[in-house]
Amino acid sequence: MIIAIDGPAGAGKSTVARRLAERLGAAFLDTGAMYRAVTLACFQRGIDPSDAQACAATARSLEIGFESDGTMTVDGAPTDPAIRSEDVNLRVSEVSAHAGVRETIVAQQRAVAERLGDVVAEGRDTTTVVFPQADLKVYLDASPAERARRRAAEVGRPDKVERIEAALRARDAHDSGRAHSPLRYDPQAALVLTDGLGVDAVVDRILALVEERR
């Protein structure tokens, strides 16, 4: 069984997908973490994120592994927490927009799902491109203000909420406006708006959708 969840930055996809996977005994596939790992590797190798060829070569050179609990490894080592840094946040959309990067990473995502079987995947194009045959598709969204508030609380900087909202909006615009696999709502997806909803309420709503399809 494959459950695919897409939506903009900060909609709560990772938290919800991880918990849903736990509840279902499925593997959790954080596809954004893979693009973040490629971006970090580009920084470490002195590659300009605008260089499509070099970014694609970097993606091909990385050995990205997934354990069934969702733990990601890069070249056999635990993932560097720096994939969540501000620097990566600012450039990941540029790196992930290159067709050559996506080709490699999408192939790996499909291979992981093939190997792990039951998977809850989340990202920007998991419903539309990576797993168009998913058993359940969900589009998770919330207002930009709510998403920024949550992200600011997560990083312990409620004073930075306005800056965070601007950054989220910029990343969404980039991810929705790109030529290859843009973030878009798949008409087959259930739209779940999470303003004012806690994680458990969202997970329960998606679990109810899973049950309907069983």
Give the interface segment with ligand C5P, choosing from 47-55, 122-130, 155-163, 196-204 (CB under 6 A): 122-130
Report the C-alpha gap between 34 and 95 in whole angstroms: 11
Residue 206's Cβ-side half-sphere holds a number of Cα atoms within 13 Å equal to: 32
Report the C-alpha gap between 183 and 93 in whole angstroms: 11
Directed axis angle between helix 144-154 and helix 161-177, to 10°?
Answer: 120
Nearest approach, Cβ of 32 to ligand C5P (angstroms)? Answer: 3
**Site size for ligand C5P (CB under 6 A):** 14
Q: Name the strand (E) or helix (H) holding 100.
A: helix 99-116
- Residue 98 is a binding residue for ligand C5P (CB under 6 A): no
- Phi, psi (5° rounding) for residue 116? -90, -20
Q: Which of 28, 175, 186, 203 binds ligand C5P (CB under 6 A)?
A: 175
Give the interface segment with ligand C5P, choosing from 15-23, 51-59, 92-100, 197-205 (CB under 6 A): 92-100
User: 53: burial class by Cβ within 10 Å (0-12, 13-18, 19+)?
Assistant: exposed
Q: Which of 139, 171, 202, 206 binds ligand C5P (CB under 6 A)?
A: 171
Give the interface segment with ligand C5P, choosing from 32-40, 50-58, 134-142, 194-202 (CB under 6 A): 32-40
Nearest approach, Cβ of 120 to ligand C5P (angstroms)? Answer: 13
Nearest approach, Cβ of 211 to ligand C5P (angstroms)? Answer: 26
Residue 96's Cβ-side half-sphere holds a number of Cα atoms within 13 Å equal to: 28
- Residue 35 is a binding residue for ligand C5P (CB under 6 A): yes
Report the C-alpha gap between 51 and 54 in whole angstroms: 6
Nearest approach, Cβ of 125 to ligand C5P (angstroms)? Answer: 5
Binding residues for ATP: 7-15
Q: Would you tell me which residues interact with ligand C5P (CB under 6 A)?
A: 9, 31-32, 35-36, 92-93, 96, 123-126, 171, 175
Binding residues: 7-15
